[in-house]
Amino acid sequence: MHSLCRASKLVLGSQTAAVYDRFVIRQSFGAARGSGQLSLVPRPSTCRHSGDRTRHSGSVISAAMQDATAAAAAQGPLPKAAVGQMTSVGDQEANFNTCARLAQDAAAAGCSMLFLPECFSFIGSNQQESIAAAQPLSGALVARYCELARSHKLWLSLGGFQETGPDPEHIFNTHLVIDQGGEVRAAYRKIHLFDVDVPSGPVLMESRSTAPGTQALVCDSPVGRLGLSTCYDLRFPELYQKLTWSMGAQVLLVPAAFTRPTGEAHWEVLLRARAIECQTYVIAAAQAGRHNEKRESYGHALIIDPWGRVVARLADPSATGIAVAEIDLNQIAAIRTKMPIREHREKGHKAYLEGV
């Protein structure tokens, strides 16, 4: 199990570990509550990736998950999550100022964590601009957002930025989690790339300038164990089944920049489906409105509970702002007790996955 922090070495897998030299494996912090306050209690290992051979076998009821569920049952206020919505442009400074305002709003609302959308730091007019904007995880851009988290004592989910890639023609689309101390806890590289001729919309070929990631990733946080994904990943339910039933995710993250045509047709129904079938919270930060003459995003940032109910959304689906909801992990346990999908799923697999 790996987790990440700013120090001397970042571990993202054996193929890429040597590229980074300012990060180390570190210990994690589980969420706990007492005396009416949300606190952070040291415990081993915050992040897991799909290649982790030390992960528990069979059951998702790990010690970390038991700790988080026990914390949810303790007396005191529930942790609050803020889902962000914004209209990124081709100006990193302007985008940072927008994110800073959203962070200030989230902190003022008493939130433990702010979730920002894909492309929070930059949306250009073409792929070459995105490549030119790329920076390493050890660069000035990430350092600035780490300072933003530290200054507000706020965890951040940064839903996808242009990370320097494996060659001059490709970047990674990387979703970061930063803790309240300003340390990077997880770096998920988007696996499924958006190569689509959108009906009544643009032709977008993400793979021409972006290399795919190779690992599913979870990370513990004050609002529960997070299952990381990005945008187009949403259309591949097996990823979320893996994050939930094999890796113990309690809150699935789907930061996105959905196009208007695909958003109108599929955005909310897919998000609610992921929440219902996995019996988890889903937090979906969103890009909204027109970024430039070529690109427009759907908006409609949402927080969805484990029963598939929308519990937070902005009044204006295209405005810049946040929507806030409490995250109650007891709901997950209650719903899974009454409708034990995990156990039924394991029984079903014997019938239709035998020998596959």
Instruction: Write out the chain's pLDDT in tens, 356 residues.
Output: 333 333 323 434 323 332 222 232 222 333 333 333 332 323 334 556 665 433 333 333 444 445 555 555 555 799 999 999 999 999 999 999 999 999 999 999 999 999 999 999 999 999 999 999 999 999 999 999 999 999 999 999 999 999 999 999 999 999 999 999 999 999 999 999 999 887 877 778 899 999 999 999 999 999 999 999 999 999 999 999 999 999 999 999 999 999 999 999 999 999 999 999 999 999 999 999 999 988 999 999 999 999 999 999 999 999 999 999 999 999 999 999 999 999 999 989 888 887 65
The answer to whether 146 is a known catalytic residue is: no
Helices (H), 153-267: 237-241, 260-262
Q: Judge contact between 115 and 255, C-beta under 8 A.
A: yes
Model pTM score:
0.81
Rounded CA separation 231/249 (Å): 17
The one catalytic residue in 5, 183, 190, 296 is 190
Q: Rounded distance, CA 216 to CA 248, Å? A: 12
State how far the Cα of 10 lies from the Cα of 310, in Å rounded to an integer: 36
Contact 162, 197 (CB under 8 A): no
DSSP 259: B
The single residue listed with the structure tokens 């902190």 is: 107
Match 């089944």 to its residue by tokens.
241
Is 350 an annotated catalytic residue? no
Q: Which one from 5, 47, 111, 118 is the annotated catalytic residue? A: 118
Active-site pick, 163, 231, 278, 296: 231
Does 190 qualify as catalytic in the annotation?
yes
Tokens for 55?
A: 């992960």
